[in-house]
Amino acid sequence: MKLLVFAGSTRQQSFNRRLARIAADLGREAGAEATLLELSELDIPMYNADLEARGTPADVIRLKEVLDAHPAWIICSPEYNGSYTGLLKNTIDWASSPVAGHPVWTDVTRPFAGKVVGVLSASNGALGGLRSQSHLAPMLVNLGCWLAPRNYALARAASAFDEHGQLTDAAQREQVRGVVEQVLWAARRLTD
């Protein structure tokens, strides 16, 4: 099973990027072929229909291909002002926009429809980014994703990781593992 993991942050010391690395490692431990996508490695401008009319950026096509190639996803969503980040919204806006005249990407449901998605978040606040998840979930469902019922919000994230980026609390690691394993379990059944 191919698992894609990414965080809605490009900040070097992002709690959610650390959580994404852990989720990818747990996916590999569960037998998945896990890909950790760093959004900072893609040159994707702010979505603008006028810009799109001049031609979809090459890295947007690359993003669509990566998303499409993975039946299972884990999204680690930071929380800014009680919602998900502009980076995450922009990524989803570009990925969901059809490419006129393209042999594959004119389909508006691709690359989202049928993907099994688990949502994680990490924040230094007491709710762990839970509000970002509550805003992200309806958008993913609207795009045709199967949203895993299990999620996890890591609270007090500033003290949750050790110097190697690993969670210090075994119970927190098991919560993340539970989300990853549920996503893989569901994706296997939907793709058989």
Whether the Cβ atoms of residue 168 and residue 138 lie closer than 8 Å to each other = no
Name the 3-class secondary structure at 153. strand
Task: Over range 175-192, report the average pLDDT.
Answer: 96
What is the dihedral angle through the alpha carbons of 130, 135, 140, 141, rounded to the nearest 10 degrees? 100
Stated pTM of the model:
0.96
DSSP string, 52-112: HHT---HHHHHHHHHHHT-SEEEEE---BTTB--HHHHHHHHHHHS--TT-TTTT-TTTTT
Whether the Cβ atoms of residue 41 and residue 91 lie closer than 8 Å to each other = no
Q: Candidates 3.30.460.80, 3.40.1260.10, 3.40.50.360, 3.20.20.70; correct CATH number of 2-191?
A: 3.40.50.360
Q: How far apart are CA 51 and CA 68, in angstroms?
A: 23
pLDDT value for 107: 87
Q: How far apart are CA 120 and CA 74, in angstroms?
A: 7
pLDDT value for 136: 97
What is the H or E stretch that residue 176 is in? helix 170-191
What is the H or E stretch that residue 172 is in? helix 170-191
Task: Over range 145-160, report the average pLDDT.
Answer: 97
User: Phi and psi for 86 in degrees, rounded to 5?
Assistant: -60, -35
CA distances from 21 to 47, 58, 130, 167 (A): 27, 26, 19, 11
pLDDT digits (tens, 9 = 90+) for 109-128: 899 999 999 999 999 999 99
pLDDT digits (tens, 9 = 90+) for 36-57: 999 999 999 999 999 998 999 9
User: Phi and psi for 178 in degrees, rounded to 5?
Assistant: -60, -40
Task: Over range 93-106, report the average pLDDT.
Answer: 92
pLDDT value for 101: 87
